[in-house]
Each structure stands twice: as C-alpha cells, then as structure tokens.
Amino acid sequence: MTYQALDSESVIDYLKDRSALEEVIPNRDDLVAKEVGDGNLNLVFIIESQGDPDQAVVLKQALPYLRVAGDSWPLTRERMRFETQALLKHNELAPGLVPLVYVSDEDMSLVVMEYLGNHRIMRQPLVERRKFPHFVDHISTFMARSLFFTSDLYLTGVEKKEFQAKFINPHMCKIQEDFVFTNPYMESAENQWNPEIDAEVQAVRANGELKLALAEMKESYMTHGQALIHSDLHTGSVMVNETDTRVIDPEFAFFGPMGFDVGAILENLVLNYLSHYAHTPDPDERAEYQAYLLEMVRDVWNEFARKFDAVWAENNCGELMPTKYWNFPAGEEIFAEFRRRYIQKILHDAAGHGGCKMLRRMMGIVNIWDITSIEDLQKRAVCERLAIKIGSRWVLERGKISSVDDLIRIVAEETKAA
C-alpha cells in the first residue's frame, strides 16, 4: 500500500482488512474511530467496535512533517520504523510494561497497538497527587531490562553492532541534539520562557562553566552508544493506573547513554515536585506529596541499580567482559567492583542528562504541562527558578554524585527556603 495519511474514516477501511486483528476485534463491521493525538508529532486514533467497546485498538501513524509545526517542518516518516522496532523489542524484554503490537506497516508508517483505555498519561495524575504503588517496581524493571539486554554487557559485539545498525535514527537524534542540548542555551527563535525568569535564563546562557558541562553532556548523547535507549522517557511517555504501567512512544529510540533514560524519569519527578508549590497550596498536603515524590526518586534509582546489577551478574554473556576473564582468585570481587563503577557512571550520566533536560524545559521549545498549567506567572516562576538551580547543580556536580541521596540533597537544599 502506498502511503496516505489516514483520517477517522479511512482508518476504519484500513483496519477492516487486517486479519491480524481477528482476535482483538473479531467484529470489524461496526467500527468507530476518533483521533486523539495530543502529541506534537503524529496521528493517534482510537478505534472501537460499537457493539463492544472493550474491543478496541490504537493506530498511530507518522506524518511526513512535524505535526505541531504544520507541513512547514518536514520530518521523515521513518521514525515509525524505529518506534515499531523498539516497541517489539520492549515487548520481548519487558513484557507487560509496553503496549502489545498487533500490526506494523512500514509503507504506511503506522503501528496498531493495544488500547490502554484504563490508563492515563502520568503527568496529570501526579499533579492531582495520586499515588502509584507499583510504578517504582515497573519502571525500574523496564529500564534495567531494556538497557541491559541491548548493551555490550549481554550481546556479543557483532550482535550489538548489527542491532545498533537498525537504530541509526539521525533525524530524531537531531531534534534532541538541537532542542535538549543546544538551542535552549543560546538565542534561537523557537525558544520560549516565562518573562518573569528572563534574568535567570540569560544567566544560564552566559554561564561558562555550565555551558562547558552542557556541551560535555551533548557529546555523551551523540557518541556514547551504550544501549538501545527510549530517548524520550518523560512522564508524558508513561501511561499508568493503580496496578499497571506502560511505556509508550519510543520514536526517538537509538543507541545512546543509559543515563539519558534514567535521568529523564528522575528529572520529571523533580519537576512535578516543584510544580506543587503552585498546584498544592495547602502546606501539609504539599509536604506529604513532595516527600512521596522524592521517595520515588530514591527508590527508582536504587531499584534500577539493584536490578541492573543482578541481571548483569546472572547474564554476563556479552562482549564486555566474558565470565572467564574474571576467573582468578579475587575475580568475583573485582567483577563486582567493575559493575559498581559502571552503575555509578550511569548515575553520573543520569544527573548530567537529567539536569540538562530540566533546564531545557524552562527555556527551550518544549515546556511541560506540570509547570505550564500554572496560570499565575509569578507562582510559575517560583518553580522555574528552583528548576534552573537544581538542574544546573545536577549537571555541574554530576561527577561528585556518589548516591541518589546526593541528587535528593540538592533538591532539598535548593527548596529549603521555598
């Protein structure tokens, strides 16, 4: 089939012909579709059977341009191939933590997947101070397994490079290179920020030490092809309910630094923490929920580190380094030390990349709803100034971070007076 962008009618004709959907929607004669993409990039349709709304799927299709900017900004549809490949890999490595894939169609640049009708994008319920008792366990498993099993720690050098070759994702990488690491910190037409924090934004752009560190983080992103990373793992890419967690939207996936994914989760939790200075005026309610969020930051990292270490110790069959290499009298301890240092480096990268991402949300093209939903610009500025201070310190002090408690301490120190 040659590519055509679907609409809420043609999408129904398309699905009628898919025999692969036989089990999910056996009756495809009375389908209704609605387009729900609140995203910046693609079309997302929910299609359900009128007779039985439990029979439903989601179809996501890439457009040949960036949706948010209209057709003035061409963007290759190939991004759907990366998203589909990553979803399939994640289903294999972290089953139950991503949507099932029913149909993938490269010509049409689309994927048909499980409809997560009982889930919500995580940002909003976090602003409502909801709690997710399984999130830490789920997201730490997702990260430990998706990162470990696509790295040189598990794959042979040949396997890893052949797999990596399928994930050279130049155009999506370019978006992150520009909009996470470069443009927010210099003059660039698309940047947007709260006028109340203009002085702080200008100070970041003139801070030599910080700009040096940001440049180093960009170099890490561009060259440190450690594992298949999701590369856009913010709380807008996580759908949750009380019992279940799913990671969606891996169209930026490529081989990059593991700390970029881990840092994204930690940083988004901290930004949500800060947003409660405006969203939750009652000081007791606020303190209680903020403590919950910091606990989550601590637990996500600690559980990730523990699971990553365990899965490595049990599955050390990758190119780096074979078990036999550690086969000498003190070998077991030295291998454990190698793992400890490796995981420590992931923490440093998580701090650096998380810090960058915190800063770019304050002064780049894409801000986040947790904070932009604060209507009073002065109240919003209170959160944003704190984010700039914390983000800057995470980046600058990344090399000295010895445990996640150091990251939390920085948050506590900067918010003490708030």
Contacting positions for ligand ADP (CB under 6 A)? 36-42, 44, 58, 60, 99, 113-116, 121, 248-249, 251
What's the angle, vertex CA 84, arms to CA 82 and CA 86, rounded to 5? 65
Q: Which of 128, 119, 134 is nearest to 241 (CA)?
A: 119
Residue closer to ligand ADP by CB (options 82, 273) is 82
Rounded Cα gap, residues 312 and 148, in angstroms: 7
- Phi, then psi, of 255 in degrees rounded to 5: -90, 110
- Phi, then psi, of 249 in degrees rounded to 5: 65, 50
One-letter amino acid for residue 101 of the chain: V
The answer for residues whose C-beta is within 8 angstroms of residue 122's C-beta and 6 or more apart is: 132, 135, 235, 236, 238, 239, 240
Q: How far is the CB of 151 from ligand ADP (least distance, A)?
A: 25
Residue closer to ligand ADP by CB (options 112, 201) is 112
Site residues for Mg ion, 78-97, by CB under 5 A, read none
The answer for residues whose C-beta is within 8 angstroms of residue 165's C-beta and 6 or more apart is: none
Cβ-proximal residue to Mg ion, closest one: 249
Q: How far is the CB of 77 from Mg ion (least distance, A)?
A: 13
Instruction: Say which entry of ligand ADP, Mg ion, none residue 36 contacts (CB below 5 to 8 A, set by partner kind).
Output: ligand ADP
* DSSP designation for 87: H
| 384 binding Mg ion? (CB under 5 A) | no
One-letter amino acid for residue 417 of the chain: A
Residue closer to ligand ADP by CB (options 49, 226) is 49
Instruction: Say which entry of Mg ion, ligand ADP, none residue 303 contacts (CB below 5 to 8 A, set by partner kind).
Output: none
- Phi, then psi, of 240 in degrees rounded to 5: -135, 160
Is 16 strand, coil or helix?
Answer: helix
What's the angle, vertex CA 257, arms to CA 253 and CA 261, rounded to 5? 60
Helix, strand and coil in the chain, % to nearest 5: 55, 10, 35
Q: How far is the CB of 60 from Mg ion (least distance, A)?
A: 9
Instruction: Say which entry of ligand ADP, Mg ion, none residue 116 contacts (CB below 5 to 8 A, set by partner kind).
Output: ligand ADP
Which ranges constitute the DSSP H helices of 53-99? Answer: 79-93
Rounded Cα gap, residues 134 and 147, in angstroms: 20
Residue pair 197/388 in contact (Cβ under 8 Å)? The answer is yes
Q: How far is the CB of 50 from Mg ion (least distance, A)?
A: 29
Residue closer to ligand ADP by CB (options 232, 349) is 232
Residue closer to ligand ADP by CB (options 31, 381) is 31
Instruction: Say which entry of Mg ion, ligand ADP, none residue 238 contacts (CB below 5 to 8 A, set by partner kind).
Output: none
Rounded Cα gap, residues 171 and 344, in angstroms: 31
Residue closer to ligand ADP by CB (options 37, 125) is 37
Instruction: Say which entry of Mg ion, ligand ADP, none residue 44 contacts (CB below 5 to 8 A, set by partner kind).
Output: ligand ADP
Residue closer to ligand ADP by CB (options 233, 262) is 233
Q: How far is the CB of 144 from ligand ADP (least distance, A)?
A: 23
Cβ-proximal residue to ligand ADP, closest one: 39
| 48 binding Mg ion? (CB under 5 A) | no
Q: Please choose, out of 40-48, 171-179, 376-384, 390-398, the segment that lies near Mg ion by the rule CB under 5 A.
A: 40-48
Q: How far is the CB of 235 from ligand ADP (least distance, A)?
A: 11
| 249 binding Mg ion? (CB under 5 A) | yes
Instruction: Say which entry of ligand ADP, Mg ion, none residue 58 contacts (CB below 5 to 8 A, set by partner kind).
Output: ligand ADP
**Contact set with Mg ion (CB under 5 A):** 41, 249
